[in-house]
Amino acid sequence: MFTNGQVSIWADYLDREFLNGEFKQLVDKGIVTGITSNPAIFATAFQKGIYKDEVAKISKKVGSEKEIFKTIGIKELQRACDILLPIYHKTGGWDGYASIEVDPNLIEDWKGTVEEGLELWNRIGRPNLMIKIPANSPGYRAMEILSQKGVNINATLVFSPTQALQAYKAISAGKGRGVISIFVSRFDRKLNPILRTKGLATDRIGFFNGIKIYNLIRAEGTEQIRPLFASTGVKQEGLPVDYYVRNLYLPEAILTLPLEVLNRIIGEELEESFLFQTKHIDAFFGFLTPAGINLSQIYSQLFKEGVEAFQTAFAQMLERLKES
């Protein structure tokens, strides 16, 4: 088992041109060792028009835009998994995964999530596939059932330590491997304006919260489940594109990076980030309540906003398929 402290870089983008070109080259060079996708990523891929002929052909055989998406998505995930399979075998299942997300409209439907998760798992048919499931109560139930069936799980939209621990418990109850996808930059985009008015440091809460959850997961043990830092793109002016990478390049972690961040770090020597202790992070967080920031409420708001964003992207993706 490769638990010698190495950091993994995964690509947070997927389309056919990328898989056959840049992605395969990055994997062959050992720079990238995994890939993640979500409804927004597929919406972008379909908007590029590279699937237009294929969509027209498939639409004559299937009855819905969602089935068109599944047909194409399954092919692309098979392609991604096959490219990554040598890494998966070399590392004994420690690395080398590709992720696909269940329909975000199943957010409160654990049975539907299990059914769709099993369908994708069986139709894609690769051992290095991960099924992405949002981290809420129905999601934990679905994660546990799927993990017990040997399905690998990517617990997504994780903002709070409580979510991380519940997802960890659910996945570890089975035999599937997993990652806990800790969302980072959305904290800073949401809270920076408030922090500025209170004279508090900005652009800290995202990676502080990420490290706090990372510390929790590592304390549980990382043989079966690894922490993954997601939402690593920088939207704030004045910050370097690789800001979150520089602050979250930690032993045994995974960073999934959008293309602009990935392209920025290629060829650079990345140094291990400073590992803040949880007690120091909690001391910083202690200034938030007097500033009128309730972290529990922020966790809930960010999860709700994340789900809504994925649902909107999913609807846009299906609409683009209808127009193709």
Q: What domains lie within the chain, and their CATH numbers? A: 8-323 (3.20.20.70)
**Catalytic one among 48, 132, 175, 190?**
132
The letter for the amino acid at 43 is A
CB contact burial 115-147 (16+ within 10 A = b; e otherwise): ebbbebbeebebebbbbbbbbbebbbbbbbbbb
Alpha carbon separation from 315 to 40, 69, 272, 322 (Å, rounded): 10, 11, 40, 11
Contacts of 263 (CB under 8 A, 6+ apart): none
Model pTM? 0.96
Encode pLDDT of 192-248 as tens digits: 999 999 999 999 999 999 999 999 999 998 689 999 999 999 988 889 999 999 999
Amino acid at 16: R
Our answer to whether residue 132 is catalytic in this structure is: yes
b/e for 233-252, b at 16 or more Cβ within 10 A? Answer: bbeeeeeebbbbbebbbbeb
Average pLDDT over residues 288-306: 96
Max Cα distance, the chain (Å): 60
What is the CB neighbour count within 10 angstroms for residue 216?
Answer: 18
pLDDT at 4 over 60: no
- Amino acid 309: pLDDT: 95
User: Distance of CA 245 to CAs 7, 223, 255, 264, Å?
Assistant: 11, 23, 7, 10
83-123 confidence digits (pLDDT tens): 999 999 999 999 999 999 999 999 999 999 999 999 999 99
C-alpha dihedral, 255 to 258 to 261 to 262, nearest 10°:
70
Which of the four pLDDT bands, split at 50, 70 and 90, describes residue 1? very low
Q: Which two tokens stand for residue 64?
A: 């819905």
